[in-house]
Amino acid sequence: MSAADRDGKVAAHLELADEARARGELALALSHYERALAWDLDHPRASALAAALRADLAPGRRAQDPGETLALPRSALGPIASRYRLLRELGRGGAGTVYLAEDLHLERRVAIKVLHRAAAGADPGRDLPEARLVGALSHPGVVRILDLDASRGVVVMEHLAGGSLRDRLEARAAFPARAVRRLARGVLETLEVVHGAGVVHGDLKPANLLFRHGGDPLESVVVADFGVATAHASTPATPGPEGAAPRAGTLGYAAPELQAGNPGDARADLYALGILLRECLLGASPFDRAALLAGEAAPLTPLPEGTSEELAAALESLCAAAPGDRPASAHEALARFA
């Protein structure tokens, strides 16, 4: 199936879902959003609205909880609105929406992430350890935090004009092995620093790998969106409030231990990287999407014919189901892509 055909199916289900939601038929709307996700697991709008509807339909949900933010008035930015002018939406996820904006003081473009009220709860600032974790890291492979309003759940970041790996995957069939090796090295060099600072990203996926500029398709990679990051990469992540299960990242990239509801460590990031690298080589998800959404066991699609033994072995080690069978660290994994 061509990318155009897939996009057409996604658009059709989104339209049906929006119509059902407008009529108040929330269960039907959720069904169509999930069908859209069957064709595009990483679609930000379908993911966010499906998550909101699942919460809306869950027993015991508070009627006054407004769910995900569907529009952002300037008042939501508070004092920051006097400095930044919103231009357009860049992407939407389960935790927040990212906007392209103009910094009126420094005359530059920035990205502004605004946490959804349902995700942040009564205290938007509680999810902003993301900004503090990232702000403590100084590395060209980590997105830079420029401004912060913890009381409103607003984070201002550098705008990366080169787009995301998801954009580039949608624009072409697959990447050559040489480019995939470069991407692997770039991300692993960044993960060395991130994990060395005691941080696990927790949600590596093509949409969260950005590029500073165009040109060579997989150069200047930057790791972004630390929204589910946890501290202490050397030890398992701790459960959330009131014993809640650890957040498992994005379906299709989450390590098996996270999918099982268990805490993960830095090796979960290595698994996610292995899956997205396979996707780059194949030009498509290495899993059967329908099986993933149904919660069924989904074996990995074989690597393309002609993949070198060294590259295949490096990817297999990253994608091992058991954490103990993966490289022990980003540094060890990097040596396999030298």
Please count the other Cβ atoms lying within 10 Å of the Cβ belonging to residue 273.
26
Q: pLDDT value at position 248? A: 59
**Residue type at 230?**
T
Active site residues: 203
Q: pLDDT value at position 120? A: 46
d(CA 28, CA 145): 39
What is the full DSSP assignment across 136-183?
A: T---TTBPPEEEEETTTTEEEEE--TT-BHHHHHHHSS---HHHHHHH
Q: Nearest to residue 114, comparing CAs of 67, 138, 148?
A: 148
Q: Is 273 within 8 Å of 184 (Cβ atoms)?
A: yes
Q: Provide CB contacts within 8 A for 203, sequence distance 6+.
A: 225, 227, 228, 229, 249, 250, 253, 272
CA distance readout (Å), 162 to 64, 207, 212, 283, 330:
40, 12, 5, 19, 25
Q: pLDDT value at position 118? A: 47
CA distance readout (Å), 241 to 11, 150, 316:
37, 19, 35
Q: Is 145 within 8 Å of 157 (Cβ atoms)?
A: yes
Q: Nearest to residue 147, comparing CAs of 91, 106, 89, 194?
A: 106
As given in the structure block, the two tokens for residue 280 are 């780059």
CA distance readout (Å), 1 to 39, 47, 49, 52, 298:
11, 22, 26, 30, 20
| Contacts of 28-32 spanning 24+ positions with Cβ under 8 A | 29/53, 30/54, 30/57
Q: Provide CB contacts within 8 A for 268, sequence distance 6+.
A: 200, 202, 249, 254, 255, 257, 258, 323
As a whole number of Å, the CA-based R_g of the chain is 20
Residue 113: enclosing H or E segment and its boundaries?
Answer: strand 108-115
**Residue type at 8?**
G
- Strand 154-158 vs strand 145-149: parallel, antiparallel, or unpaired? antiparallel
Angle at 76 between CA 95 and CA 11, to 5 degrees: 50
What is the full DSSP assignment across 19-57?
A: HHHHTT-HHHHHHHHHHHHHH-TT-HHHHHHHHHHHHHH
Regions in the chain scoring below 50 on pLDDT: 59-71, 118-122, 233-246
d(CA 119, CA 248): 15
Q: pLDDT value at position 62? A: 32
Length in residues, the chain = 338
- Strand 84-92 vs strand 96-103: parallel, antiparallel, or unpaired? antiparallel
Q: What is the pTM of this model?
A: 0.71
